[in-house]
């Protein structure tokens, strides 16, 4: 399964890169935040609760924030790319974790369910752990998927994210993260 997720992530990244190269001729927009006078970021911010399950080490709970908005760097013709920035912290057994994740996702509405949308895309992550035994920082490439619900100012959703990380001290982290979020739309 891990190899399939990596392949899908690489395909999604390649598709984004190819789309960026053909942006002007196919209706894709580069830098819509600067070029499109009708661009609206439609920002949402939410508190998150996550379950982080690394390949090595103990599972832990993490709390944080999810900030997401219409992507201002590249936008599809149907304006469905949203960028998610996730920040979370955990503390278990004297090990403090700090995670940063960036995930542009193609997000589409679910037919027959007003306010509900689903999205998928590549994800980049930085995972830092501090303990008495030392500090370790991992970087990762992976995939993210989520379901989001918006109704007026209410924003809520569920996410799943997986990252392949670099090796540190002969070990990898490779976390699978499940999360729920609740917040507000601006």
Q: Yes or no: say if 103 and 161 are a contact pair by the CB < 8 Å rule.
A: yes
**For residues 49-58, b (16+ Cβ closer than 10 Å) or e, as one string?**
ebebebeebe
Point out the least confidently predicted range of 2-6, 62-66, 140-144, 152-156: 2-6
Model pLDDT, residue 17:
56
Taking only the tens place, the pLDDT of each residue in 125-149 is 999 988 887 888 999 999 999 999 9
List, for residues 44-78, the tens digit of each pLDDT value.
999 999 999 988 778 899 999 999 999 999 999 99
Task: Give the whole-angstrom CA distance, residue 127 versus residue 20.
Answer: 28
**Per-residue three-class SS string for 61-104:** EEEEEEEEEECCCEECCCCCEEEEEEEEEEEECCEEEEEEEEEE
At residue 7, the pLDDT reads 59
**Confidence bin at 9 (pLDDT 50/70/90):** low
């Amino acid at each position: 399964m891990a190899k399939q997720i990596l392949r899908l992530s690489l395909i999604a990244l390649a598709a984004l890169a190819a789309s960026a190269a053909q942006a002007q001729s196919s209706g894709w927009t580069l830098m819509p935040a600067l070029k499109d006078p009708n661009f609206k970021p439609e920002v949402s911010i939410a508190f998150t609760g996550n379950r982080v399950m690394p390949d090595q080490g103990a599972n832990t709970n993490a709390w944080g924030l999810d900030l997401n908005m219409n992507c201002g760097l590249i936008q599809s013709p149907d304006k469905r790319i949203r960028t998610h920035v996730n920040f979370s912290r955990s503390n278990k057994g004297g090990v403090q974790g700090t995670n940063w994740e960036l995930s542009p996702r193609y997000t589409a509405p679910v037919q027959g369910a007003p306010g509900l949308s689903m999205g998928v895309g590549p994800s980049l992550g930085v995972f830092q752990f501090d303990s008495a035994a030392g500090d370790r920082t991992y970087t990762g490439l992976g995939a993210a998927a989520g379901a989001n619900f918006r109704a007026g100012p209410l924003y809520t959703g569920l996410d799943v994210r997986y990252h392949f990380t670099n090796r540190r001290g002969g070990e990898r982290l490779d976390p699978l993260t499940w999360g729920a979020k609740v917040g507000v739309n601006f």
